[in-house]
Amino acid sequence: MLKYRHLIGSEDFTIRELEEIFKLADEIIEDQDSFLDSCHGKILGTLFYEPSTRTRLSFESAMLRLGGNVIGFSEAASSSVKKGESIPDTVRTVGSYVDIIAMRHPKEGAPRLASFYSPVPIINAGDGGHQHPTQTLTDLLTIRNIKGQFSNLTIGLCGDLKFGRTVHSLIKALSKYENNSFVLISPQELKIPDYIKSDVLDKNNIKYIEVERLEDVMSSLDILYMTRVQKERFFNEADYIRLKDSYILDSKKMDLARKDLTVLHPLPRVNEISYEVDTDPRACYFKQVKFGMYVRMALMLKLLGVR
């Protein structure tokens, strides 16, 4: 069903298709050894036009654990992009060498443009402040394994909701499921974009509130999704400095939360989660990292049509 498809936005796959990926990820978690040669002879191309640690290494380790290989670049300056090569020409070229491409780009819409020209499946590994669908798959697999459900949840999203592509993707994905509500926690300057509210939340009659104080809503949350204030998305450094410490999750705030709260974070963190929270059993962001590798393994197997 997913063979040779592109993944550009979190809305590209149906609930049924997502469930295919998650079931396969669960199989991989249960018996990783049986998948060691699944991608023997396959090559992943990683086109990362901006820096990444977790996402790039997660893709690379996923393909290597499946028995495949990886080629690509980790910054645009180390490729022919520096000479002025266009995205269409780059993906046409790299697509001649590889079987699947993971692409990160600072400009919104770049992976979608690439998908029009690529001879192989394109996976959006993050485009500007727009979307990050494989992080959303990571988040969903984590929620599925910890909460056991995708419905009837109150999800708090805290920090940079304006530029946070992981937030935008997660809202779109969880909006497909029944009876979820969102608590949007941010300063006025970093509020969720209007198009997310109008095109996703309002359009689907999904409950949400916007607040500025994390303390006021901690006790109501099933999931708290923390995000960093992203320096690279600001044109004015003074604005970044003023807003970067808007929200810091510490043990005092955790004392206000439910015993079964799940705290997630797409990482990297700066100082928005105190290290003292790491030992709290409700802190699940490093489990999230591991789930990210498994779900990317499952995704690539599905898009390549191999088992």
The pLDDT value given to residue 81:
72
Closest by alpha carbon to 244, among 265, 224, 273, 271? 271
Torsion 200-202-204-209 (CA) sign: positive
The pLDDT value given to residue 76:
73
Q: Which of 5, 54, 176, 269 is catalytic?
A: 54
Q: Give me the tens of pLDDT residue by residue for the chain, a chain 307 residues long.
A: 899 999 998 889 999 999 999 999 999 999 999 999 999 999 999 999 988 888 999 999 999 999 999 999 987 776 667 778 899 999 999 999 999 999 999 898 999 999 999 999 999 999 876 788 999 999 999 999 999 999 999 999 998 898 888 899 899 999 999 999 999 998 888 899 999 999 999 999 999 999 988 999 999 999 999 997 755 544 556 655 655 556 789 999 999 999 999 999 998 888 899 999 999 999 999 999 999 999 999 999 999 999 7
The pLDDT value given to residue 115:
97
The pLDDT value given to residue 263:
98
233 noted as active-site residue: no
207 noted as active-site residue: no
How far apart CA 168 and CA 172 sit, in angstroms, is 6
Q: Which of 6, 42, 46, 55 is catalytic?
A: 55
The pLDDT value given to residue 245:
59
* Token representation of residue 221: 């949350």
**Element containing residue 18 per DSSP (H, E):** helix 15-30
Q: Which of 104, 105, 165, 302 is catalytic?
A: 104
How far apart CA 106 and CA 125 sit, in angstroms, is 11
Q: Which of 16, 83, 213, 259 is catalytic?
A: 83
54 noted as active-site residue: yes
The pLDDT value given to residue 83:
77
166 noted as active-site residue: no
The pLDDT value given to residue 241:
60
Q: Which of 6, 130, 132, 197 is catalytic?
A: 132
DSSP letter, residue 77? G
The pLDDT value given to residue 69:
98
Q: Which residues contact 251 (CB under 8 A, 6 or more apart)?
A: 274, 276, 277, 280
The pLDDT value given to residue 1:
81
Instruction: Please state the φ and ψ torsions of residue 188, each to the nearest 5 degrees.
Output: -55, -40
132 noted as active-site residue: yes
Q: Which residues contact 190 (CB under 8 A, 6 or more apart)?
A: 159, 160, 161, 162, 163, 229, 243, 246
CB atoms within 10 A of CB 31: 8
Question: Judging by DSSP bridges, how do beta strands 154-158 and 181-185 pair with one another?
Answer: parallel
